[in-house]
């Protein structure tokens, strides 16, 4: 039998926390999601709150209950969608003082699988999710690069089997609501406009991921290189060099800086020289930002 999941991570996880600490801008993203999702995760608490302060159940509560525990993480490649999904799941588990786990639907299986198998895979994934979710155990499912499964059904080239897989997915998202917030689905995508309308409509939140701003670049260099002292002017210069220079160009993604620029700069210094501002600057200038996915 094909392996359904790349891996299962038990939460809370010390390892995930360490990884989360290295992320720039995580707090504000988490807070947005948590503020949105906490209503979904604590439905009886919401009714009690409304009765306590307003004597009635406000109509808005029923609309909130119509939401689905579906979070869409959308944005360009290398902006932190995959890494943030696990970080958010871990943090949510901690905030709610629960235990949990996150399953990642394997992209490999999707690549190999015949179209007809896609529906079966989606089915199996949700079956596992339901089985393992419990009163005190939150179940997270990450469907990474979901556009491979959740593509809009309106495209005419789409095979019947692919349409069936999207339908299955929608049906499973609907069913998961019965778990009253004990199971949460993340979908990541580089191409939000490919995602089926019915799935988009169900999302409790669509969180947008972007390439770093100047301030975020500064923070990223600071975080990654803490221990080396740079002046504010130097940090500013590294950030400016990392941003787009012309209107028709784009700047580095988070992953360009973390996984290309900095390792290459370290390689230039190691093993006989210290890592310096000039080495980093020169490396930035020699690397082209990864192209934007449209």
- Residue by residue, DSSP assigns 230-283 as --HHHHHHHHHHHS-SSTT-----HHHIIIIIHHHHHHHHTTTS---HHHHHHH
Among Mg ion, ligand ADP, none, residue 24 binds (CB under 5-8 Å by kind): ligand ADP
Within 186-205, the residues that bind ligand ADP by CB under 6 A are 188
* Element at 135 (helix H, strand E): none
Question: What does the longest C-alpha to C-alpha distance in the chain come to?
Answer: 72
Q: How many helices (H) and strands (E) does the chain have?
A: 14, 6
Q: Which of 255, 262, 275, 284 binds ligand ADP (CB under 6 A)?
A: 255
Q: How far is the CB of 169 from ligand ADP (least distance, A)?
A: 20
Please, which residue, 31 or 136, has the CB nearer to ligand ADP? 31
Q: By CB under 6 A, is residue 251 in contact with ligand ADP?
A: no
Residue 255 touches which member of Mg ion, ligand ADP, none, C-beta under 5-8 Å by kind = ligand ADP
Nearer to Mg ion, 82 or 93 (CB): 82
Instruction: Give the C-alpha separation, 19 to 91, whole Å.
Output: 12
The two tokens of residue 200 are: 């988009």
Secondary structure element (H or E) that encloses residue 204, with its range: strand 203-209
Which residue sits closest to ligand ADP, CB atoms considered? 80
Tell me which residues in 41-100 interact with Mg ion (CB under 5 A): 82
Residues at the contact surface with ligand ADP, assessed by CB under 6 A: 22-25, 77-83, 188, 209, 220, 254-255, 258-259
């Amino acid at each position: 039998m094909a392996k359904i999941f790349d891996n299962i991570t038990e939460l809370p996880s010390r390892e995930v926390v360490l990884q989360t600490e290295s992320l720039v801008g995580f707090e504000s993203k988490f807070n947005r999601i948590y503020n949105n999702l906490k209503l979904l995760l604590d439905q009886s608490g919401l009714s009690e709150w409304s009765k306590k302060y307003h004597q009635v159940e406000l109509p808005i509560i029923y609309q909130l209950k119509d939401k689905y525990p579906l979070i869409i993480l959308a944005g360009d490649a290398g902006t932190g969608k995959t890494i943030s999904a696990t970080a958010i799941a871990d943090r949510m588990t901690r905030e709610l003082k629960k235990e949990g786990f996150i399953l990642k639907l394997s992209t490999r299986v999707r690549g190999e699988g015949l179209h007809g198998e896609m529906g079966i895979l989606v089915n199996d994934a949700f079956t596992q999710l339901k089985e393992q979710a419990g009163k005190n155990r939150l179940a997270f499912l990450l469907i990474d690069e979901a556009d491979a499964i959740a593509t809009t059904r309106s495209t005419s080239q789409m095979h019947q089997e692919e349409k069936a897989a999207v339908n299955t997915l929608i049906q499973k998202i609907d069913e998961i609501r019965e778990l009253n917030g004990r199971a949460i689905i993340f979908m990541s995508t580089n191409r939000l406009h490919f995602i089926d309308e019915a799935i988009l409509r169900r999302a409790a939140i669509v969180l947008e991921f972007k390439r770093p701003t100047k301030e975020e670049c500064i923070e990223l260099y600071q975080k990654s290189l803490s221990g080396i002292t740079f002046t504010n002017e130097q940090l500013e210069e590294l950030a400016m060099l990392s941003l787009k220079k012309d209107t028709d160009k784009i700047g580095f993604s988070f992953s360009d800086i973390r996984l290309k620029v900095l390792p290459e700069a370290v390689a230039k210094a190691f093993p006989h020289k210290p890592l310096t501002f000039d080495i980093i600057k020169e490396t930035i200038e020699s690397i082209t930002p990864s192209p934007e996915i449209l």
